[in-house]
Structure 1
Amino acid sequence: MSLEKEKQSSGEIVDTRVLRQLYRYVQPYRPQFYFLIFLTISLALLAPTRPYFIQVAIDDYVAIGDSQGLVRMIYILVGLMLLQAGVQWAHTYYSGWIGQVIIRDIRIRLFKHLLKLKLKFFDNTPIGRLVTRNISDVETLADVFSEGLAAIIGDLLQLVTILSVMFYIDWKLTLVSLCTLPLMIISTYIFKEKIKVTFNDVRNAVSNLNSFLQEHITGMNIVQIFNREDREFEKFKEINREHRKAHIRSVLYYSIYFPVAEIIQAIGIGLVVWYGAVGVLGMELQIGVLISFIMYLQLFFRPIRMIADRFNTLQMGVVSSSRIFKLLDSKEHIANEGSFKPEKIQGNLSVRDLWFAYIDEDYVLKNINFEVKRGQTVALVGATGAGKSSIINLLSRFYEINKGVIEIDGTDIRQFELDTLRKHIGVVLQDVFLFSNTIYYNITLGNPSITKEQVMDAAEMVGARKFIERLPGGLDYNVMERGSTLSVGQRQLISFVRAMVYNPEIIILDEATSSVDTETEELIQDSIDKMMKGRTSIVIAHRLSTIQKADQIIVLHKGEIVEQGDHDNLLEKGGFYTQLHQMQLKSMAI
């Protein structure tokens, strides 16, 4: 979603459809939610009791010097204050509790949803924006319950209750009290509209900050290699400046609105004191009524002042909910409709009439056809962008096929249950990603069924055991973020162990030795041969020396197969493969 689109969606009014979607997450906690509603109503009813009993204490007991009656009223007032404090505590706790359990559930569901999305989705969506959705936007939802919906309902009930009591006690004085209400409503509405815009700007600025920081921290080596520190720092300052401006605008509106609201309230109280004092002096009004009305006005205007801020909190929560639900409603996930779950496969692979495009009909693979028998090795070669990696991405169903079919043992890969399909395919990528955890975790990825003995056996096979044993703690050594404490070759060896420990029947090596130095490559080449023995293997390599033993070499050019055969046959043809071979010989000679 573009930033412009986000701004447009942020300007919408509160969407009841989104609130209904949000209410679905409340269903498991209905008893606590209904109890929260009860507490909200209780607070609204308790609000006008204190001024009323103070009025009674002054007019019925203080005025006639009834000290015993006054003491009883003091006990009642203390009891009411304690009761109100207890209800307020429970209301604050349960509103916060419900908000936190709901955002926990939403965050879990959101992350689970992200795990199922196609890689194409992540290609087109900035990671920083997804982080914002999963953290900042989800966190905003908690305010919907603690400071938004429940608080607004409570404020409205309190206004109705106070207004009813005031009219019951003295309708004339009530009308005088409400003379400044139109001014309060107008100023509140203006404030609500202004602060809504600034809140939207703040949310968009936070999203931009997250995206910028994530990308530049991840790519810090590129920034430093090309001496872009100063330029990128200036760009960051500009983004941060927009974030600061948005916050300052919100502070400005608050700094104007609340003093204005205080002045309007003071004018209202002044009118009540003036009119009430005339009534008291004329023996038409009791002093207790006048004092209680001053208290009522303070209670009455407070929720009006807060309701604009809370409405915007609610609206921002609804906007965040809308963004989250839009992400959850995304259908860009791999369809896992297959039910075929074989324990073992033979590994016979067939690709027929395969077409694929990342964007619309801009095909990167065109009419691809080849077969690989069990235990054979097929090598995919060609210039960068020829479509080699796209084929293996489709085989693992990271992307969906546009046209054609890929079969394993005569069964369309779309008929396989997705986890089962990927369990039978071991993949070693050129860009090895390691989590900030132990070597053992990075190899097993938290699978408790894989023992350390199995890991070390696989490490022995690919020649990684010795370097692992030399590390402090061995398998328990923490590689830090992205494996920063290991060399490129060591990270690549761990990826070999990670692929082999699951004992797959099909092995995919995507430029698996391109990042490894010559000495390390020689060290693991024999182990790779053992690893591939008896398994169907698909190898992508720029170094043609590593694929000369392949049973079949497929040469790709602009998404099409231009040559196919073994190493010797292709050299005899004198075509694309011969040109690639000669170019590499020249580069090695240099």
Structure 2
Amino acid sequence: MAHLLEGIEPDGYDRRYGDRELTRRIAPYFRGRGGAVTFVTIAVIIAAAAGSAVPLLLARTVDSAVDDDGDGRLALLVTAILVAGITAWLLTLLQERTTGTLAGDVVLKLREQAFAAAMRQDMTFHDAHPTGVVVSRVTNDTQAFATLISLALSLLGQVLMIVILLTALFVINVPLALVTALVAALIVAVSLAFRRAARNASRQQQQALAEVNGYVQETLRGIAVARNHSHQESAQAELHAVNHQWFRASVRLNRLFSGIFPLLISLTGLGTVAVVLVGGHGVDAGSVSAGEWVLFLEALALFWSPLTSIASFWSQLQQGLAAGERVFALVDREPSVRQRDRVPVPRLRGEFTLRDVHFGYDADHPVLKGVSLTIPAGRTVALVGHTGAGKSSVVRLIMRAYEFQQGSIDVDGLDVRTLDLEQYRRRLGVVTQTPFLFSGTVADNIARGRPGAGRDEIEAAARAVAGGDWLAPLSQGLDTPIDEGGRNLSTGQRQIVALARVFLQDAPVLILDEATASIDPLTEAQIQEGLEALAADRTTIVVAHRLPTVRKADTIVVVDDGRIIEQGDHTTLLAQGGAYRLLYDRYFRHQQPDDDPADDPERPVHHPSPYARAVTPANGLADRNGEESVIDGHRV
């Protein structure tokens, strides 16, 4: 069977929790609901006692009828049976209603905590684990674990009934009670032996379901790509594969439970036969009264029912426990980005110092190899280089999106690892190449830059980008609804909304990662004017391939193969004739206006320099034979 479940592997941060640990972890979620918990506890006890009283009273009724104690006693006993039955039914009803509310509260709190844990994770976590798989833990698994609470409280009442009945049976007739207890012990032993296999099977089934959720979510988000490239059939085939993993895991789980339930039923049947035989011989010998025999036969139904209920609910119990393990594994997962302290962060001046920084997204593939860089406060620094050189990695480390392995990064003389992380990130205004917009309106998305901002402030931020001309094509201006991810807006419009969000944020440090790469030249020129005003007296770090952005930077930093190989302003670096000159000639030159005297358009493309002789076509910067090279994904 194991080979059928290949591919269903636990996530790297999964861990195992014992039943006692899970019980301890769930207790805090009932804080503040002491009254409801107390009521449920009392209701369970009274309902169990009333339910246990029914067969005891029935036995007395039979003995009274046999002994002919009179109609008055029989009527009293019958009335007592009715009262006990109604009491048990009413308290069970109220207990289940209250339990449902308590379980809903647990779902509410646990889901919020799981969501907060997912939001707390750094980008290393989200790179490694598909969004749909994480969503499954936050939604499906929290629901399954909370359902466990309702089942556990319901079964608790039945277990109490077993204890009360078994105690009464031992008082009334020890031999019959011993037979009953022996069979009960055998049933419990079989259930406990089955528990571990059931937990593992439930865990694999839920992991397989999470894989299905993850694949479906990812595919639907990329539906346009699938249609454009006619990948519907291949997508369906891939779904078939992950769906069948879930199917095989579900079949295994079903086979386990379909095997245990008939076994337990058979054991209860054997117990019933044993009680009938022993009790019948006792009545015949006069050692057992007719009422006592009826009591044991009637108690059997109540006694075996909880045990078989436990068996029938065992699947849900184990699924709930496995779900609890998955949820708490997410809650307990420590982010890779760890702060050594929580120093309050005032408004930053924005002076950054990187010293011998080494970083890799995994240990076997280093991306940055000893980067040292100083970014003065209030200056604009542009990072340039070919794709994969490490430009974006530098800004991601400054943003504390990832943890670097060696070196240090300081801001205003403070180690970034000692700062309050949430406060620090709020001091950074970040715009990426592919901005994400949330459902709502354009104004709602801009307002995310500074929650609580007024309408006038939002409008001012919107008009600060591209002169506000971009609002005219929108059907309802700032109140235009935005579909999921901003699908109803153009790429340029989404980028402008993201820029307006940063304008409203008014952060002391700006990080622009290809922020104007998806915008037409006219809009870019308008945005540049707004950015210049915004960047005044602010530290601005730009990852750019557009010449207007690069030329206006105070310092241009050339990154290649995880190292900084040149620094300087545009004019100085061109005059040096090194790596930046090669990038300019092969990539930036065609963006240079013909009438701009700042650069020498007659400068030969293959300028002989030590750097040009040192590099090879493989690194995408130089090709002394005039063959094609690739820079930033462009063949030049």
Q: Same fold (TM over 0.5)?
A: yes
Asked if structure 2 preserves the Cα contact closer than 8 Å seen for 1:345 and 1:409, the reply is yes
Q: Please say which of residues 420-429 and 51-60 is displaced more in the overlay.
A: 420-429
Per the alignment, residue 137 of structure 1 pairs with 141
State the alpha-carbon separation in 1 of the partners of residues 460 and 258 from structure 2. 68
Cα offset for 1:295? 1.3
Give the counterpart of 1:295 among 280, 294, 298: 298
Asked if structure 1 preserves the Cα contact closer than 8 Å seen for 2:381 and 2:556, the reply is yes
Give the counterpart of 2:370 among 367, 371, 390: 367
Q: Give the TM-score taking structure 2 as reference length.
A: 0.82
Give the counterpart of 1:514 among 508, 517, 521: 517
Relative distance call for 1:398 and 1:253 in structure 2 (3 A) is closer
Cα offset for 1:446? 7.9
The letter for the 2-side match of 1:386 is A
The answer to whether residue 172 in structure 2 is matched with residue 169 in structure 1 is yes
1:399-427 residue CA offsets vs partner (Å, 9 max, x unmatched): 23444444444444445433443333221
Relative distance call for 1:166 and 1:225 in structure 2 (3 A) is same
Q: Secondary structure at the match of 1:39?
A: helix
1:458-481 residue CA offsets vs partner (Å, 9 max, x unmatched): 111112633335434332222111
The letter for the 1-side match of 2:357 is L
Q: How many residues align?
A: 586
Asked if structure 1 preserves the Cα contact closer than 8 Å seen for 2:510 and 2:539, the reply is yes
Cα offset for 1:488? 0.3
State the alpha-carbon separation in 2 of the partners of residues 573 and 474 from structure 1. 49
The letter for the 1-side match of 2:562 is G
Q: Secondary structure at the match of 2:403?
A: coil
Asked if structure 1 preserves the Cα contact closer than 8 Å seen for 2:257 and 2:315, the reply is no
1:391-450 residue CA offsets vs partner (Å, 9 max, x unmatched): 211222222344444444444444543344333322111010111122122112284431
Asked if structure 2 preserves the Cα contact closer than 8 Å seen for 1:334 and 1:399, the reply is no
Within a 5 Å distance, the mapping from 1:373-384 to structure 2 comes to 373-384=376-387
Cα offset for 1:88? 1.0
Per the alignment, residue 549 of structure 1 pairs with 552
The letter for the 1-side match of 2:79 is Y
State the alpha-carbon separation in 2 of the partners of residues 352 and 9 from structure 1. 35
Per the alignment, residue 78 of structure 2 pairs with 74
1:320-379 residue CA offsets vs partner (Å, 9 max, x unmatched): 33333333332324427242432x444444444433333337442233334344443221
Per the alignment, residue 327 of structure 1 pairs with 330
Q: Secondary structure at the match of 2:68?
A: coil
Per the alignment, residue 107 of structure 2 pairs with 103
Within a 5 Å distance, the mapping from 1:377-456 to structure 2 comes to 377-445=380-448, 447-456=450-459
1:177-230 residue CA offsets vs partner (Å, 9 max, x unmatched): 568657755765676566444323321211221222232223333333433321
State the alpha-carbon separation in 1 of the partners of residues 328 and 234 from structure 2. 37
Within a 5 Å distance, the mapping from 1:561-576 to structure 2 comes to 561-576=564-579
The answer to whether residue 123 in structure 2 is matched with residue 119 in structure 1 is yes
Cα offset for 1:498? 0.5
Asked if structure 2 preserves the Cα contact closer than 8 Å seen for 1:437 and 1:479, the reply is yes
Asked if structure 1 preserves the Cα contact closer than 8 Å seen for 2:357 and 2:372, the reply is yes
Relative distance call for 1:283 and 1:377 in structure 2 (3 A) is closer
Per the alignment, residue 212 of structure 1 pairs with 215
Q: Secondary structure at the match of 1:525?
A: helix
Per the alignment, residue 61 of structure 2 pairs with 57
Per the alignment, residue 42 of structure 1 pairs with 46
State the alpha-carbon separation in 1 of the partners of residues 411 and 330 from structure 2. 33
State the alpha-carbon separation in 2 of the partners of residues 409 and 521 from structure 1. 31
State the alpha-carbon separation in 1 of the partners of residues 540 and 212 from structure 2. 43
Identity of aligned residues (%): 29
Cα offset for 1:314? 4.1
Per the alignment, residue 478 of structure 1 pairs with 481
Relative distance call for 1:490 and 1:336 in structure 2 (3 A) is farther
Q: Secondary structure at the match of 2:482?
A: coil
Asked if structure 2 preserves the Cα contact closer than 8 Å seen for 1:382 and 1:556, the reply is yes
Give the counterpart of 2:587 among 565, 569, 584: 584
The letter for the 2-side match of 1:76 is A
Asked if structure 1 preserves the Cα contact closer than 8 Å seen for 2:378 and 2:538, the reply is yes
State the alpha-carbon separation in 2 of the partners of residues 464 and 336 from structure 1. 43
Relative distance call for 1:587 and 1:230 in structure 2 (3 A) is farther
State the alpha-carbon separation in 2 of the partners of residues 335 and 349 from structure 1. 18
Relative distance call for 1:390 and 1:13 in structure 2 (3 A) is closer
State the alpha-carbon separation in 1 of the partners of residues 119 and 564 from structure 2. 33
Per the alignment, residue 305 of structure 1 pairs with 308
Cα offset for 1:120? 1.8
The answer to whether residue 159 in structure 2 is matched with residue 156 in structure 1 is yes
Give the counterpart of 1:147 among 146, 151, 166: 151
State the alpha-carbon separation in 1 of the partners of residues 109 and 502 from structure 2. 33
Relative distance call for 1:429 and 1:588 in structure 2 (3 A) is same
Cα offset for 1:275? 5.2
Per the alignment, residue 198 of structure 1 pairs with 201
State the alpha-carbon separation in 1 of the partners of residues 322 and 275 from structure 2. 41
State the alpha-carbon separation in 2 of the partners of residues 403 and 256 from structure 1. 55
Asked if structure 1 preserves the Cα contact closer than 8 Å seen for 2:206 and 2:323, the reply is no
Cα offset for 1:53? 1.0
Relative distance call for 1:162 and 1:560 in structure 2 (3 A) is same
Per the alignment, residue 524 of structure 1 pairs with 527
Asked if structure 1 preserves the Cα contact closer than 8 Å seen for 2:458 and 2:504, the reply is yes
State the alpha-carbon separation in 1 of the partners of residues 89 and 443 from structure 2. 53
Cα offset for 1:380? 0.8
Q: Secondary structure at the match of 1:221?
A: helix
The answer to whether residue 20 in structure 2 is matched with residue 16 in structure 1 is yes
State the alpha-carbon separation in 2 of the partners of residues 160 and 472 from structure 1. 70
Q: Give the TM-score taking structure 1 as reference length.
A: 0.88
Per the alignment, residue 4 of structure 1 pairs with 9
User: Unmatched 5+ residue regions in structure 2?
Assistant: 1-6, 593-635
The letter for the 2-side match of 1:484 is R
Asked if structure 2 preserves the Cα contact closer than 8 Å seen for 1:113 and 1:328, the reply is yes
Asked if structure 1 preserves the Cα contact closer than 8 Å seen for 2:268 and 2:304, the reply is yes
The letter for the 2-side match of 1:21 is R
State the alpha-carbon separation in 2 of the partners of residues 433 and 550 from structure 1. 26
Per the alignment, residue 622 of structure 2 pairs with none
Q: Please say which of residues 554-563 and 413-422 is displaced more in the overlay.
A: 413-422
State the alpha-carbon separation in 1 of the partners of residues 12 and 379 from structure 2. 54
State the alpha-carbon separation in 1 of the partners of residues 40 and 230 from structure 2. 57
Cα offset for 1:545? 4.0
Cα offset for 1:65? 7.4
State the alpha-carbon separation in 2 of the partners of residues 187 and 422 from structure 1. 55
User: Unmatched 5+ residue regions in structure 1?
Assistant: none
Q: CA RMSD in A?
A: 3.2
